[in-house]
Structure formats: structure tokens, C-alpha cells
Structure 1
């Protein structure tokens, strides 16, 4: 979190105004929300849903391949198991913080690029 705040204040210093801080925070919040929502939406669209793996989906293909490789079962902790867990319960607190932090940095980076190009 301290890296995020330092980055926001760095952009504010570069922009030279309080408006820079507000814009930096807005860019970080937008990036965080977009990435968290995007990850869960992508996992669901792939077929990992709260009702289970959707038949005929990419998730079903992944599960079939994992089961074949695992001798008939899907191993706990495998990619398929983790994605199904995300499909059922979401990212959880730690997952939201991690993906939100990445999204915030992406949002701030885009804000910085736009700011640099518009000068």
C-alpha cells in the first residue's frame, strides 16, 4: 500500500497540483476496480461458474485434460481447481488486494502516460 501511495504522490508532484492527487487516486481506483472485475468476469466467461464448470466451455476442456493427465481426477491446487474456486467464491480478500494493487498501478501508469503525452 505504501508503494501505491508513494506513486500517487509522485504523480501529484509531477502534475504540481492538488488536482493531480485527485486524478491519480481516481486513476488508481478505476484501474483496481477494472482489474478485479475483469479477472472474475474472465474466469466466469471461461466456464468456471458458481454452479460448476459449464459443459462445452473452455473450462470443461481444461478439466478433461487435467483429469486425463491426473489419472481420472483433478489434483487439488491445480490451475483448474484454483480457477473453479475463483468461479465459486471469487478472489477472496487477498486476491482482491493483489489484483487491485496491480490494477491500481496500471491505472496510475496510464494516467502518467496520458499526462506526459498531453504536455
Structure 2
């Protein structure tokens, strides 16, 4: 297996919790004034005033609060592997 693919998966998986926190999805909730707050506001307006359970904002907040689930970890690592593979195509 191409080491770039493995590195992409590892970096994506390791970076995900930091990226979630940086955009405002924290263990204490959505940070005021953050990108996450803007996304939540947009989602609430689009859904008639509430954020849909099981939607993107809810899933990201859950991941920010308690970490990535097994299935989400697989999805994030897979996306990182694809990014690594694509990067290896341009070497």
C-alpha cells in the first residue's frame, strides 16, 4: 500500500478532533461566534427554527462533544486515505 494513502488516513483521523474544536464544536457545546454557531443558525433557519436531529450540525456536535464513533472514524480515515491517494497521483 502506498505510504501516502496510509499517512492521509492517519492525519485525517488524528486531526479530526482538533478541527472540530477549532471550528467551534466543543465538549461544552457550540462555541458562541464560531463557524459552528453560524452553521447551526443557518440549519435552524432552514428547518423552521430547530436543528434537525441526525443532521449534519447534530452529528458534528456529537463528535465534538464525545469524540468520533467507530463508523465516523472509518469514514474520516477513508476520506483521508482518498486525499492521500489523490496527492500521490500528482507526485
So what's the TM-score if we normalise by structure 1? 0.62
Name segments (4+ residues, structure 1) moved above 3 Å.
Answer: 68-72
More helix by share: 1
Structure 2: unaligned runs, 5 residues or longer: none
Deviation of residue 108 (structure 1)?
Answer: 3.5
So what's the TM-score if we normalise by structure 2? 0.76
* Residue-pair matches, total: 91
Q: What residue number does 2:41 align with?
A: 64
Aligned CA RMSD, in angstroms, stands at: 2.1
Structure 1: unaligned runs, 5 residues or longer: 1-7, 9-23, 115-119
Q: Over alpha carbons, which structure has the higher Rg? A: 1
Alignment map for 1:69-84 (pairs within 5 Å): 69-84=46-61
Supply the distance in 2 between the matched residues of 1:108 and 1:40 (Cα, whole angstroms). 22
Q: Which has the higher contact order (CA 8 A, sep 6+)?
A: 2
